[in-house]
Structure 1
Amino acid sequence: MPSPGASPDEDWNTLHAEAEQHGYAIGARLHDVAVPVPTTYFPGSRTGRSVYTPPWQRPGWREVERQIRGGFAEGVIVLDRHNISSDDDEYHAVIKHLGERYKAFVHLVIPEEPTTPT
């Protein structure tokens, strides 16, 4: 699943190369067109507002779950964790849900940054 705001062709190439490198077969190419944390600017105005849509309310992620639930996919490859959610609790809930319920994997091309003790 490519980045919502990026060039799909560039992202597809990156995702495809990552899949090949790890021996994954690509069953479906899904693009989550809903940006996880978009900013909406109103025409003729200098104001904007942030709009957030949780992963399971976005068409792309609903389709990911449908593909996995239906046995058409064993997991999903995404560029980074922010393609799932920038919210830590929500991100971990998605990983847990897919892993525990479907035994599915989530592969990040750009790994999570390790947390450093403070």
Structure 2
Amino acid sequence: MSTTASLAEQITAFLDGIPSPHWPAVPDSLNDSWWGIDEQPRIPANQQIRLGRLSRSTLDIAITRPGAPFKVVVYANAPGGDPSRSLSAAEAYALDCGWHVVGRFVDVTTDTQPWERQEWPKVLRKLRGGFAQGVVTDDRSAVSVTDEPYEQTLRWLFDHFSFVAHARPRPAAPAVAR
């Protein structure tokens, strides 16, 4: 075993021991400190647009070497189905963007909490260890179909200078509710 592999293994083991943060839920109202006034925002924020912007910002802050393509892993979650279509769509998207695919991961679960899955933590270890800068999925549902776990994942990626990209982005809802 070479010294470099041993050092990489030690770094990965060290990073694996760092717990992942779990973000608190967004409050339902604004509390105006000691006055005790609860005030609802005048314009309701559109959750899908906000999550879309957060998702795009993860790509903006991801770190790469100058002149080198992003290294990405391809991930699919195929509960009760064949993941090959999702994997090939995500890989084709990554190659179209000029990114280098360095790994493929598949979960087969209906769990909406990505950190409870078998393969998703391996994806995060690749990102945290610097072996990849991003993860590419077929669509957002591969990460989570519910907003809170998806937002927690986006914030984790943002904090670790990593990104997520979806081959088929979810269409944004209108900004103003009718």
For normalisation by structure 1, the TM-score amounts to 0.77
Question: Any conservation in 2 of the 1:78–1:109 contact (CA below 8 Å)?
Answer: yes
Which residue of 1 is the match for residue 162 of structure 2? 104
Question: Any conservation in 2 of the 1:75–1:105 contact (CA below 8 Å)?
Answer: yes
Alignment gaps of 5+ in structure 2: 1-74
| Deviation at residue 104 of structure 1 after TM alignment | 0.3
Aligned length: 101
> SS state of the match for residue 85, structure 1?
coil
> SS state of the match for residue 165, structure 2?
strand
Matched, 1:31 2:84: no
Which residue of 2 is the match for residue 115 of structure 1? 173
Instruction: Give % identity.
Output: 30
Which residue of 2 is the match for residue 50 of structure 1? none
> SS state of the match for residue 27, structure 1?
strand
Which letter maps to 1:4? A
Q: Give the Cα separation in 2 of the matches to 1:15 and 1:112.
A: 14
Provide Cα deviations, 1:32-68, integer angstroms capped at 9, x if missing partner: 22233xxxxxxxxxxxxxxxx5111111211110111
Alignment gaps of 5+ in structure 1: 37-52
Matched, 1:95 2:154: yes
Deviating above 3 A after TM superposition, structure 1's stretches of 4 or more consecutive aligned residues are none
| Deviation at residue 8 of structure 1 after TM alignment | 2.4
Q: Give the Cα separation in 1 of the matches to 2:168 and 2:147.
A: 16
2:134 aligned residue (75, 82, 89): 75
Which residue of 2 is the match for residue 84 of structure 1? 143
Provide Cα deviations, 1:4-46, integer angstroms capped at 9, x if missing partner: 134222222212211110011111111122233xxxxxxxxxx
| Deviation at residue 78 of structure 1 after TM alignment | 0.7
Please show how residues 9-48 of structure 1 align to structure 2 within 5 Å.
Answer: 9-36=84-111
Question: Any conservation in 1 of the 2:136–2:166 contact (CA below 8 Å)?
Answer: yes
> SS state of the match for residue 151, structure 2?
helix
Q: Give the Cα separation in 2 of the matches to 1:115 and 1:18.
A: 23
User: Which has more radius of gyration?
Assistant: 2
Q: RMSD across aligned C-alpha pairs, in angstroms? A: 1.4
Q: Give the Cα separation in 2 of the matches to 1:85 and 1:69.
A: 20
